[in-house]
Structure 1
C-alpha cells in the first residue's frame, strides 16, 4: 500500500469529523485508519492496532482515495431505493383504503396488481406500516344476520329460565 498523502487542512477536517458528537463508531474507526495511513503506517500495523483485518484497512484507504470523506460512511448494499415506485405504491394504497370497505393484505395485493404494481401481502403490510395505517382484528359477530323478532323472542324465553332469588319469610 503506497503512502496516503493528506495535507494539514485535510487532517484537521478528518479529526473534526472523527470527534464530532454525532459521529458513529465506524466513522471514527475509519477516520483513524486514514489518519494512521497518512502518518505512514502499514495496513497490517493499522489492522493490528485497531483490531480489524488488513483487507478492511486497505479497502477503506482505497475508498478514501477515490471518494474522499464520503467513503467513511457506511453504504447500504444494493441499489438506492426507488422513491418514485414507493410514491406510486403509497398513492395507490391510499386510494384503495379510502373505499368504504375492509381489506386484507392479500386483497390489497391483488387490487394493486390491477394497477400494475406487483407486491406480495407481506410487502403490502410493510407499506401500510410505513404509511402509519392502523388495523385491528375484525370482530366476530353475527348481529348483521339476526332477525330482530327472533332475538326479542329468545331474550324473553331466557328471562323466564333465569333463577329467581328465593323469598324467605
Structure 2
C-alpha cells in the first residue's frame, strides 16, 4: 500500500483553492481537483475523498501528486490529444493579400492557391469558414470594364446609346 499523500496549505493557497472551487467560470474538473486538494489538506483520506467526489482512487492520487509537484498550475487540464491544426496564421495573411487585389476569387480557386503555396489541401467549406472568420462575405461578381476606356470605345458606346435612344 502506498504511503498517504500529506498536503499542507498556506492560508493564501487555501484562499486560492476556495476561489477556484466556488468560481462557476472555472471548468468543472479544475473545481473538483481544487476541492480534492482542500479535503486532503483537512485530513481526509484518499478513499474517503474519492468516494465523496465520485472519483477513482488512481485519478485522485494523480491529481494530488500533480498538486504537490506543480501547485496551482497542476490543477489545470493538460493539452488535449490530437493532431495539431493544419491552418496557420500565414494562410490567413496569404488570403488577405490575394483578396486585396482586383481579381474576383472563388473558394475553389482559393483552395488551389493555398495548395500551390503551402502544399496543403483543404475542403472548400473549410476555406469558406475561415473567410467568414476573417470578416469576408460572399458577393455576386459584376462585369465591369478594366481600367479607363479608350476614346474609340467611348465613341462606339455613345453611338450605340444614341441609336438605342432613337429606337434603331
Instruction: Work out whether the TM-score is over 0.5.
Output: yes
Q: How many angstroms does 1:117 deviate by?
A: 4.8
Q: 1:110 aligns with which of 109, 112, 133?
A: 112
Q: 2:97 aligns with which of 85, 95, 98?
A: 95
Q: 1:113-150 deviations in whole A, cap 9, x for unaligned?
A: 222252412442342232122226x59xxxxxxxx9xx
Q: TM-score, normalised by structure 1?
A: 0.64
Q: How many angstroms does 1:81 deviate by?
A: 6.7
> Which residue number in structure 2 is paired with residue 159 of structure 1?
none
CA, structure 1 residues 73+132, in 2 after alignment: closer, same or farther (shift >3 Å)? farther
> Which residue number in structure 2 is paired with residue 129 of structure 1?
132
Contact 2:30 2:75 in 1 (8 A): yes
Q: How many angstroms does 1:78 deviate by?
A: 3.8
Q: 1:49 aligns with which of 14, 28, 52?
A: 52
Give the alignment's Cα RMSD to 1 decimal. 3.3
- SS of 1:115 mapped into structure 2: helix
Q: 1:37 aligns with which of 29, 36, 40?
A: 40
Q: How many angstroms does 1:76 deviate by?
A: 3.5
Contact 1:6 1:38 in 2 (8 A): yes
| Long gaps (5+) in structure 2 | 142-159
Q: 1:87-127 deviations in whole A, cap 9, x for unaligned?
A: 21110011122233443333212101222252412442342
Summarize the alignment of residues 1-169 of structure 1 with structure 2, pairs less than 5 Å apart.
Answer: 2-9=4-11, 10-20=13-23, 22-78=25-81, 86-121=88-123, 122-135=125-138
CA, structure 1 residues 4+132, in 2 after alignment: closer, same or farther (shift >3 Å)? farther
Q: Distance in 1 between matches of 2:127 and 2:73?
A: 34
Contact 1:3 1:38 in 2 (8 A): no
Contact 1:11 1:35 in 2 (8 A): yes
Q: 1:61-90 deviations in whole A, cap 9, x for unaligned?
A: 1222222111222234148978xx722111
Q: Distance in 2 between matches of 1:80 and 1:7?
A: 38
Contact 1:105 1:124 in 2 (8 A): yes
* Matched positions, count: 141
